[in-house]
Amino acid sequence: ISFPLASQLTRAVGIADPDRASILSMLRKVLESRIGKIAHNLQMEESWSREKLGVPVNNWMWDSMQTAHILDERNKYTSLDKQVFLNWGYEYGESVGPYKEGHPINNMLSCPIDELLLYGGLDSLFTLMLQKRQERILDSEDHSDSKKANSFWLESARTFADMEAEGIYIKRDYYLQLRSSLKDEMRTIHSKLMQSPEVQRFRTEVGRPPKLSDAGANSRDLSHLLFSVMGYQRMLSDKGHIKLDAAALKDIGGEFCESILRLRNLDKLSGTYISGFLLEEKDRIHPSFNLHLVVTYRSSSSAPNFQNIPNRDGNTRQLIRKGIVAPPGYRIACADYGSHEVRIIATYFKDPVLIDEMNNDNDPHGEWVTELGLDEFKPWKEARSDCKNAFVFPEFYGSFHKPIYEDLYSRGYHISPERVEQCEKKLWDKYRVLKAGHEQLLKFYERNGYVPMLFGHRRRGCISRNKVINCAVQGSAFHCLLWSLNRANARRKAEGWESSIPGQIHDEMFCYIKVGEESVIIPAISNVMENEIRQEFPFLSVKLMAEWAITEEGGSWDTKKGIDHSTIGGSDGEITY
């Protein structure tokens, strides 16, 4: 056993001792004490402490990795060695590199103990040095908002560590069987493709069979098949590259392209989605949820990626979610915010018309369906969805009538470009304050070099007009859910709920609710999401709405149904759908 400790800027101690029991006992006492703790990656240290030592860490004070992300959100800037080099120009760890990079997981056991202890000691010392420097930066007047964001991120990292420890239940046998059946179908499709006349002609011309075995089919082979052998017209990207994506293959059509698309989908379903759930030999996965990787200050997930489960493809979504279940005596319950992006747009830009519409539960999309005449082409529900995604949101995020007209036309709405332009003028005549807010934000960004978010985060770097507006809204929208997640998790621990919150998908909270606790937990979390957050942050000028979907006891995720949380039954757990 070896580990480093540092409590002052001039000294770090690496500890290695054969008396494992006594060392671990003392270490547990330190970790459980009220002594303030700092780390570079709190979540990893917390997970290791719980898993290897059986105790949670008490009194986390700082996570220098999360603070590095708050101060510089660019990709791959948060690792400790990168931060040490950027701050002090010092490189270290070369002697232990061969034992930790590109080698078997346990190869660190072969590292000479003196080198290992030195490396660990430097890690600990540099973490403390980095924390002191970061603290001075955040204490400066220019970073008062970033200091608030940093405290928020520290609490959120603790919440995410709790979520990872809880874990999510899966039906492992179901995924094994599903993967096997998908592989069988892939082999059948591949065999049929290889026997097709088109492939036989390819063999004759090239002298070998094409590589079409998976989603990563050789692009040159597929290009030669489609455009030389089969004679289809090439479609080029804006940069002049031949397009072979799903949209291009759908445009070409035909049985051959349909088989290629199916092969790609099956490979992604089997590999990307299912294989991650089968990494562990048990019916419970513990995905990590990360806050230090996304430049827009949203979250990500890994090992496995719980946020990568498809949502738009109904069949794929059902297949994957069917294997994610509630344990006996529990229900899956998911909470998110209704019409949240529009509410944050109204809040961020302080448009009184949009604020009034949101506070009175008016539909900001429906009137434009009629104005544009979209309901003349498709049923109302579908037309409203297209109006929201192809007209209202693009306008709200900085687009304009020409590309919007082209998008609507591609969706089957054969209206005139003049009509789209007229509706655009009407929209901005209605939401004048929002339009002015766009220009004010863009000028602020040009003058200061960053986009301010509602909870103190700053998005820096060279970003487009649309992304300036987008990140201000979408980052802040996620932060509302994250704050609510922190508050709900703290209450869960303080009040001893048997229910848990083991997951989070972008703007959705994933819960296991103990049967019998529904009438307490759902109203409590709803109150956090709708009321407590607005009491804490008065700048949230628009009412927020929690929306819930829930399964039966022991149900799978694909069976969840929406509920009105104000109708939750009594302690018997009865739910009105």
Among the listed residues 311, 312, 292, the one whose alpha carbon sits nearest the alpha carbon of residue 302: 292
For the stretch 127-175, pLDDT in tens is 999 999 999 999 998 899 999 999 999 999 999 999 999 999 999 999 9
- Predicted local distance difference test score (pLDDT) of residue 577: 66
pLDDT band at 104 (very low <50, low <70, confident <90, very high): low
Q: Is pLDDT at 100 greater than 80 in this prediction? A: no
CA distances for 113 relative to 2, 24, 127, 501, angstroms: 9, 18, 21, 40
- Predicted local distance difference test score (pLDDT) of residue 102: 59
253, burial (CB in 10 Å: exposed 0-12, middle 13-18, buried 19+): exposed
Q: Is pLDDT at 1 greater than 60 in this prediction? A: no
- Predicted local distance difference test score (pLDDT) of residue 217: 57
User: What's the N-to-C CA distance of the chain in angstroms?
Assistant: 54
Q: Give the residue, 247 or 561, on which the prediction is more confident.
A: 561
Architecture of domain 172-277: Up-down Bundle (1.20)
> What is the average per-residue pLDDT within 374-380?
96
Among the listed residues 249, 12, 20, 281, the one whose alpha carbon sits nearest the alpha carbon of residue 121: 12
Which long-range contacts does 355-358 make (Cβ < 8 Å, 24+ apart)? 355/541, 355/542, 358/542, 358/543
pLDDT band at 36 (very low <50, low <70, confident <90, very high): very high
Q: Give the residue, 219 or 307, on which the prediction is more confident.
A: 307
> What is the average per-residue pLDDT within 21-44?
92
Domain 2-165, CATH 3.30.420.10 — does that match?
Answer: yes
Q: Are 427 and 465 in contact (CB under 8 A)?
A: no
> What is the average per-residue pLDDT within 60-84?
96
CA distances for 29 relative to 23, 26, 34, angstroms: 10, 5, 10
For the stretch 122-131, pLDDT in tens is 999 999 999 9
- Predicted local distance difference test score (pLDDT) of residue 215: 52
Q: Is pLDDT at 576 greater than 70 in this prediction? A: no
Q: Is pLDDT at 235 greater than 90 in this prediction? A: no
For the stretch 309-341, pLDDT in tens is 877 777 888 999 999 999 999 999 999 999 999
- Predicted local distance difference test score (pLDDT) of residue 361: 92
- Predicted local distance difference test score (pLDDT) of residue 177: 96
pLDDT band at 2 (very low <50, low <70, confident <90, very high): low
CATH of 324-341+475-567, one of 3.40.605.10, 3.30.70.370, 3.40.228.10, 3.20.20.70: 3.30.70.370
d(C-alpha 114, C-alpha 120), whole Å: 10
Q: Is pLDDT at 562 greater than 80 in this prediction? A: yes
CA angle 446–64–302, rounded 5-degree value: 85
- In SS3 terms, 120-175 reads as HHHHHHHHHHHHHHHHHHHHCHHHHHHHHHHHHHHHHHHHHHHHHHHCEEECHHHH
What residue segments make up the domains of the chain, in order of their start? 2-165, 172-277, 324-341+475-567, 342-455
Number of helical (H) and strand (E) elements in the chain, helices listed first: 25, 15
525, burial (CB in 10 Å: exposed 0-12, middle 13-18, buried 19+): buried
pLDDT band at 6 (very low <50, low <70, confident <90, very high): low
Domain 342-455, CATH 2.50.20 — does that match?
Answer: no
Cis? peptide before 304, omega within 30° of 0: yes
For the stretch 266-312, pLDDT in tens is 998 998 889 889 988 889 999 999 999 999 999 999 999 999 887 77
pLDDT band at 5 (very low <50, low <70, confident <90, very high): low
> What is the average per-residue pLDDT within 62-88?
96
Identity of the amino acid at 132 = K
Q: Give the residue, 506 or 284, on which the prediction is more confident.
A: 284
Local structure of residue 64 (DSSP, 8 states): H
